[in-house]
């Protein structure tokens, strides 16, 4: 080491070796402010719900827990038709197929990155016929040279010594991308399942609304018939008959509008199932009872929320971005490649494998950039900025997840209160309509009073049906916002759809 040339050559290498540990930075989980509990789970309507976790802690920092059992959450609805639709969609949906293909691509890319960690070995066998010029053969000019045959068989190997973790960082980044794709696939799958369930319940709610609207149409038809007979007898004037006909036409128009909505919803369900809209027909199945909605536990521990695949995808994307910083930094350090090549060369093929025909070469090459115009430095800056972006995406995903759970908890709580009030209103409206009909038949009230009572009853009954559908859709939305299910051991007895 006293030789100054040796010192000059080794010193930079030793300095670079000291930087090995910091080529890939340690991944630091970003801090995200999370609530101690869902505020909506502690609302007055849910004051009796236990919100603490099974370990006694109310909440803990969010961490991906994609490996937790998820379960077939739609079975909780106890609806064979819904189960069949979700299974059919999972088998035939085009978007899910696209997501699955992306997972395969990402896994293949990870396999390509893994290949850089092992020696690359190849074999080659060749034959050629060549005639060299006298100059190339080191002979006097004008000498006649002959064409010759030559045969070769070579075995070569090369291996990059991962001194500074560049290869390992590339593998980590590729694995992170594959894990991100898998989480995105689960996110697409969960979205598909929830979309099928919501579209199915929306279709059933429209069927129930059609039943209500058709009842109103029949009532209006009966009213027109009675009014026409009374007009023919001279008991009433033409004004009452015109109003009755107007109300009948309006009710029929409303029925046609609901039928249009049902057709559009049926077509949307067909697309989710991977079928042409023209080939799919869903039979009527009115949603008549919202009390059949499953019990959704309130105040679940944060470990359940961690199962959301979109948060998992954001987490894995952060880890991949962090690993790419190591790849970018590693490109600034020396790369050491060891190679070996050996084989035989002969004038005839049988001589190729003779010991006297052998040839070999072994070498090592260390290389690093000297002048690159700032390419590598800017690549490091870009990788660091990409990590900052992924951190922001992760934080936003967590905040949105909590907000969605709060929204759906509030939605179920408020819809339950609305439903209780609308049920009472339906009872009162029916009583009012009965009394108005009797008073009108007895000639003690005008047709306008009867019409107003009937119109109010129809509106209230239709609102009750719509609320029933909204509660079903919100129940599915809550399950989706919780990551697609819950553990039976943590499930409480509170049914938010019935409160």
Same structural domain, 138 and 193: no
What are 157's strand-pairing partners? 121, 340
Residue 80 confidence (pLDDT): 92
Question: Is a pLDDT exceeding 70 seen at residue 376?
Answer: yes
Strands 335-346 and 358-367: antiparallel
Question: Is a pLDDT exceeding 50 seen at residue 496?
Answer: no
Same structural domain, 416 and 355: no
In the 8-state DSSP scheme, what is residue 39?
T
Query: What span, in angstroms and rounded, lies between the C-alpha atoms of 320 and 172?
Result: 7
Query: Is residue 113 in a domain?
Result: yes
Question: What backbone torsions phi and psi does residue 164 show, to the nearest 5 degrees?
Answer: -120, 20
Q: What is the CATH number of the domain that holds 186?
A: 1.20.1600.10
Which candidate, 17, 27, 56, 124, places its Cα nearest to that of 324? 27
Q: Tell me the pLDDT tens digit for each residue of 380-409.
A: 899 889 999 999 999 888 888 888 888 888
Query: In this structure, are residues 487 and 69 in contact, taking their beta carbons and an 8 Å threshold?
Result: yes
Joined together, the tokens standing for residue 224 give 């027109």
Query: Is residue 46 in a domain?
Result: no
Same structural domain, 283 and 344: no
Query: In this structure, are residues 258 and 469 in contact, taking their beta carbons and an 8 Å threshold?
Result: no
Give the pLDDT band of residue 55 (cuts 50, 70, 90): very low
Residue 61 confidence (pLDDT): 43
Q: Tell me the pLDDT tens digit for each residue of 140-179.
A: 887 777 788 888 888 888 888 888 888 888 888 899 989 8
Query: Is residue 173 in a domain?
Result: yes
Same structural domain, 275 and 351: no
Same structural domain, 390 and 431: yes
Same structural domain, 346 and 284: no
Same structural domain, 106 and 206: yes
Same structural domain, 178 and 156: no
Q: Tell me the pLDDT tens digit for each residue of 108-140.
A: 999 988 888 888 889 988 888 888 787 777 778
Q: What percent of the chain has pLDDT over 70?
A: 82
Query: Is residue 440 in a domain?
Result: yes
Query: Is residue 255 in a domain?
Result: yes
Give the pLDDT band of residue 58 (cuts 50, 70, 90): very low
Q: Does the predicted model carry a pTM greater than 0.85?
A: no
Same structural domain, 327 and 339: no
Domain boundary pick from 367, 388, 412: 367
Domain boundary pick from 316, 346, 367: 367
Q: What is the CATH number of the domain that holds 354?
A: 2.20.200.10
Query: Is residue 499 in a domain?
Result: no
| Poorest-pLDDT segment among 41-50, 151-160, 179-188, 463-472 | 41-50
Residue 48 confidence (pLDDT): 36
Residue 305 confidence (pLDDT): 54
Same structural domain, 108 and 136: no
Query: Is residue 442 in a domain?
Result: yes
Question: Is a pLDDT exceeding 60 seen at residue 267?
Answer: yes
Same structural domain, 351 and 438: no
Same structural domain, 195 and 103: yes
Query: Is residue 404 in a domain?
Result: yes
Q: What percent of the chain has pLDDT over 90?
A: 19
Per the structure, how many domains does the chain have? 2
Domain that holds residue 344: 120-161+334-367
Give the pLDDT band of residue 38 (cuts 50, 70, 90): low
């Amino acid at each position: 080491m006293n030789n100054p040339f040796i010192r000059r050559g080794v010193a930079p290498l030793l300095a670079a070796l000291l930087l090995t540990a910091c080529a890939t930075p340690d991944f630091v989980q970003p801090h995200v402010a999370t609530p101690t509990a869902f505020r909506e789970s502690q609302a007055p309507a849910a004051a009796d719900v236990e919100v603490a976790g099974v370990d006694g802690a109310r909440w803990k920092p969010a961490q991906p827990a994609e490996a937790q059992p998820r379960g077939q959450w739609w079975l909780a609805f106890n609806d064979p038709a819904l189960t069949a639709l979700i299974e059919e969609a999972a088998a035939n949906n085009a978007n899910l197929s696209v997501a699955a293909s992306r997972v395969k691509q990402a896994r293949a890319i990870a396999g390509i990155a893994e290949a850089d960690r092992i020696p690359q070995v190849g074999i080659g066998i060749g034959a050629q016929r060549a005639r060299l010029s006298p100059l190339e053969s080191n002979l006097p000019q004008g000498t006649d040279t002959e064409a010759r045959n030559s045969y070769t068989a070579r075995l070569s190997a090369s291996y990059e010594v991962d001194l500074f973790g560049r290869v390992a960082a590339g593998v980590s980044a590729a694995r992170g991308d594959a894990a991100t794709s898998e989480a995105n696939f689960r996110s697409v799958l969960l979205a598909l399942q929830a979309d099928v369930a919501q579209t199915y319940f929306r279709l059933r709610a429209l069927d129930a609304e059609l039943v209500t609207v058709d009842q109103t149409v029949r009532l209006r038809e009966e009213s027109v018939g009675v009014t026409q007979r009374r007009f023919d007898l001279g008991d009433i004037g033409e004004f009452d008959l015109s109003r009755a006909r107007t109300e009948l036409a309006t009710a029929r128009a409303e029925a046609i509008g609901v039928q249009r909505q049902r057709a559009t919803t049926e077509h949307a369900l067909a697309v989710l199932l991977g079928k042409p809209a023209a080939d799919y027909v869903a039979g009527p199945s009115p949603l008549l009872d919202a009390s059949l909605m499953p019990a959704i536990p309130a105040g679940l521990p944060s470990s359940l929320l961690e199962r959301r695949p979109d948060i998992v995808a954001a987490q894995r994307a952060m880890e991949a971005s962090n690993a790419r910083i190591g790849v970018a930094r590693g490109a600034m350090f020396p790369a050491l490649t060891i190679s070996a090549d050996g084989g035989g060369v002969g004038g005839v093929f049988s001589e190729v494998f003779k010991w006297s025909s052998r040839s070999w070469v072994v070498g090592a090459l260390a290389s690093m950039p000297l002048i690159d115009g700032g390419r590598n430095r800017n690549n490091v800056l870009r990788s660091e900025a990409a990590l900052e972006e992924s951190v922001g995406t992760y934080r936003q995903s967590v905040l949105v997840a909590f907000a969605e759970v709060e929204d759906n908890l509030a939605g179920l709580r408020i819809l339950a209160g609305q439903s209780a009030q609308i049920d009472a209103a339906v009872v009162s409206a029916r009583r009012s309509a009965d009394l108005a009909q009797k008073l009108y038949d007895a000639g003690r009230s005008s047709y306008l009073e009867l019409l107003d009572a009937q119109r109010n009853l129809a509106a209230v009954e239709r609102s009750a049906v719509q609320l029933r559908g909204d509660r079903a859709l919100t129940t599915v939305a809550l399950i989706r916002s919780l990551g697609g299910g819950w553990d039976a051991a943590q499930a409480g007895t509170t049914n938010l759809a019935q409160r």
